[in-house]
Amino acid sequence: MSVVETVVYPGSFDPVTEGHMDIVARARRIFPKVVVLVAYNASKTGFFTFEQRVALIRESVEERGWDNVSVESHPGLVVDYLKACGHRLLLRGLRAGGDFEHEFSISLMNRRLWPEADTVYLPTREDVMGISSSLVREVARLGGELDEFVPAPVARALRSHFERTTHG
């Protein structure tokens, strides 16, 4: 029998949203430990830096008192992080519609890169399904209310970023 100790949840998290936080909240009740991994995504240009994204997730996790969740970053391949840390299981969230094909090919590629790697998925909760990092950035840019979509530290960071951009 094998017991999974740690699941690694990789993503861009630019920034972390209540959609991501819901996946983490549910995963931490299934697995003893969850590592949220801010990973490099070549097809996305960054808004927040790696360090800012890590800090915002850490603050959000601490604020909720989630003591079995840690936050790390890795600039290279996610499977290289797994190998280096002795973990094998990845976690991803699935929203209805577009995510499936994309997620499926990522998991196949990861397994080709390292056959020990496997991925589990949690389906999104209905009320956070429409939330994505890119939409949140757009709402913030236009001065919309953010509190429902992102944890408080993220809302504060977005507001202060766009206040600075607008007022000089």
Residues near ligand ADP (CB under 6 A) are 11-13, 17, 19-20, 23, 41, 44, 92-93, 95, 99, 124, 128-129, 131-133
Question: Tokens standing for 144?
Answer: 């919309």
Let me know if 44 is a catalytic residue.
yes
**For the chain, where are the alpha helices, taking DSSP H only?**
18-30, 50-63, 78-85, 99-113, 133-141, 152-166
Plot region of 110 (φ>0 → left; ψ -120 to 50 → alpha; else → beta): alpha
Of residues 42 and 164, the one with the C-beta less far from ligand ADP: 42
Let me know if 133 is a catalytic residue.
yes
Of residues 41 and 163, the one with the C-beta less far from ligand ADP: 41
Q: Which of 95, 125, 137, 141 is catalytic?
A: 95
Nearest distance in Å: CB 134, ligand ADP: 8
- The answer to whether the beta carbons of residues 8 and 37 sit under 8 Å apart is yes
Let me know if 167 is a catalytic residue.
no
Q: Which of 44, 102, 112, 159 is catalytic?
A: 44
